[in-house]
A and B are shown apart, each in its own frame.
Chain A
Amino acid sequence: MSTPGSTAQDRMTAIQLVDRKPARGGINGTFLWIEIKRLLRNRRTLLFTILVPAIFFAIFGLSNKNQMLPGGTHSYGEYILISLTVYAAMTSATASGAQVAVERAQGWSRQLRLTPLRPGAYIAVKAAAALVMSFIAVVAQFTIGAIAGVRLDAGTIVAAGLAAWLGSLVFAALGLMVGYLMPSQNVMQLLGPVLAIMAMLGGLFMPLEIMGSTFTDIARFSPAYGIGQIARSPLTGAWDWIWVVNAVAWLAVFVAGAALAFRKDTKRV
């Protein structure tokens, strides 16, 4: 790694007070690629993303995968595969967002404030990295499902996969919000159970129809409900715009929460 002569000469030119503001506020491939590498190196994130939903699928789905659900449009195996794909995407996105807690604890957030990086660009790269991780989660779950013998047609896979994948943005925002609020390296230990409850309320572990009606009434307002319903709509053939409203409303709540927490964090030094 020796330095070429031209560089050495270049080095002796006078310091220029030029504007070094990065293009696009600092959104670039290098930044995104290093973020993705960090997420891939985090074994705990990968565990949440791939292994845990796969184990749930083995526990909940395999034994009665061919049993048809009431209504007769789809099997339990198909139901649980798509539901757990949503669950996998949401946990991986949450874990990716929650990484800011580690960054804050290590003083990286403060370091970033000494660069021209725009906060919006930072959030955009974080969101993009979270989407890459949830994409991996979605592909992994459908692969595991296919190996286990759950047959879905291509249209269903694409539509359900897109819903699970894009819906994970809601949870990337949740992860960011909690990551800014909690100064802990173990945010996911708190968020893991919270996500499990949200998944249960969203009907991702078992159909809500087999629960009581009060439970279902509450569940309708929970953050994973809308995304789960949208993702399963290719199976059920049902559609209700209120599901989209649910997902967008929760996205707005978590983004606003994350923005507030971020602003508070910026003030405190």
Chain B
Amino acid sequence: MSQLLAVDAQGLHKSFGTVQAVRGLDLQVKPGEVVAFLGPNGAGKTTTIDMILGLSEPTRGSVKVYGGTPRQAIARGQVAAVMQTGGLLKDITVKETVQLTAAMFDSPRPVAEVLERAGIANLADRRVEKCSGGQQQRLRFAMALVSDPGLMILDEPTTGMDVAGRRDFWHAIRQDAQRGRTVVFATHYLDEADAYADRIVLVRQGRVVADGTAAQIKNLAAGRTVRAALGQEDPRLVRLPQVDSVEYDGARVTIRSQDSDAVLRFLLAETDAHDLEVSANNLEDAFVALTSDDAEPVVGPQLNGSEAQA
């Protein structure tokens, strides 16, 4: 396969009136990568996806898909998307929906195979309006599978699916990733990003704040969290070396630090702290730390999994 990037977004900006939804976002995705696009609500994930799909034009910056414009890639049937809502006709059946979608591409996958892979073969003759939210989400996935696209873009793909549904869905995604399918998915399920993505791109306020493997992202919010019962607030805590934050909640204090040993020594030696707990940060802590409004952007090309950045 050529070294052409599946997605190459440079300095993307998108404003709606005075609201800047995306402000200077760069994203390079190599063919075959599975990338999670992770961020809080309003971070600009869906707006960015719309621009990658050519559904809206960036105010500034450029997007290329397989070296051409997004519309060119779509005209060649090389991109498919699973959107969060809508996009389904209510008055036709599940099977008809996939047949109709297949009719819009040259040499699509067999409809029966696609229904089976999306786990909705048993619903083939059901009207779309009678399908549950999770079933409709599987149908959107079936529609995306039918053209066997090089790039699949998914916006909150497992919304409404039950546990088994989510597992089947990710199984099918990983299967295709082995065949070289490029997948970009927006999600707010941290465990999904952690478990299924080769690479996580963390966005906040329309910018990329971290970009790397799940392990690299977790390291960014390295350190541990110390919790303890404390008689009264102690102003010395925030001045301890490498303490990131101190929060009081009634009689309990939560201290985030790069050096938890020092915190523990101080608490035990200098205060009346008791009931101490120490926990390692997980991806969720990293997510919160990196996407909170006062967080410093920590992104660096050194972390970027994509050499194409250079």
Contact = CB atoms under 8 A, between A and B. Distances in A.
A16 B143 CA distance: 18
A12 B179 contact: yes
A1 B125 CA distance: 13
Given A1-B121, A20-B147, A103 B89 contact: yes
Given A22-B104, A28-B103, A108 B87 contact: yes
Contacts of B101: 115
B105 A22 contact: yes
B55 A15 contact: no
A22 B83 CA distance: 22
A47 B85 CA distance: 31
B180 interface: yes
Interface in B71-86: 74-81, 83, 85-86
Contacts of A189: none
Nearest to B51: A269
Contacts of B181: 15
A106 B102 CA distance: 19
Contact of A114 (B80, B85, B96, B175): B80
A26 B103 CA distance: 7
B112 A1 contact: yes
Interface stretch (A37-45, A76-84, A204-212, A241-249): A37-45
Given A107-B83, A107-B87, A117 B179 contact: no
A37 B110 CA distance: 21
B113 interface: yes
A111 interface: yes
B56 A116 contact: no
B113 A3 contact: yes
A42 B91 contact: yes
Contacts of A117: 104
Contacts of A7: 110, 113
Contacts of A42: 91
A151 interface: no
A15 B148 contact: yes
Given A15-B176, A28-B103, A30-B103, A20 B89 contact: no
B220 interface: no
B92 interface: yes
A20 B106 contact: yes
B86 to A, nearest CB: 2
Contact of A41 (B1, B91, B106, B179): B91
B113 A114 contact: no
B74 A3 contact: no
Contacts of A37: 92, 96
A11 B181 CA distance: 12
B86 A17 contact: no
A12 B148 CA distance: 12
B76 to A, nearest CB: 5
A38 B96 CA distance: 10
Among B55, B106, B143, B150, find the residue whose CB has the most chain A CB atoms closer than 10 A: B106
B115 interface: yes
A269 B55 contact: yes
B36 interface: no
Interface string B141-162: 0010001111000000000000
Contacts of B86: 106-108, 110-111
Interface of B: 1, 50, 53-56, 66, 74-81, 83, 85-92, 96, 99-108, 110, 112-113, 115-116, 121, 124, 143, 147-150, 175-176, 178-181
Interface of A: 1-3, 7, 11-23, 26, 28, 30-31, 34, 37-38, 41-42, 103, 106-108, 110-117, 269
Given A38-B92, A116-B77, 19 more contacts: A3-B112, A7-B113, A11-B179, A15-B148, A15-B149, A21-B76, A22-B105, A26-B104, A31-B103, A31-B104, A107-B85, A108-B87, A111-B87, A114-B74, A114-B80, A115-B74, A115-B104, A116-B75, A116-B76
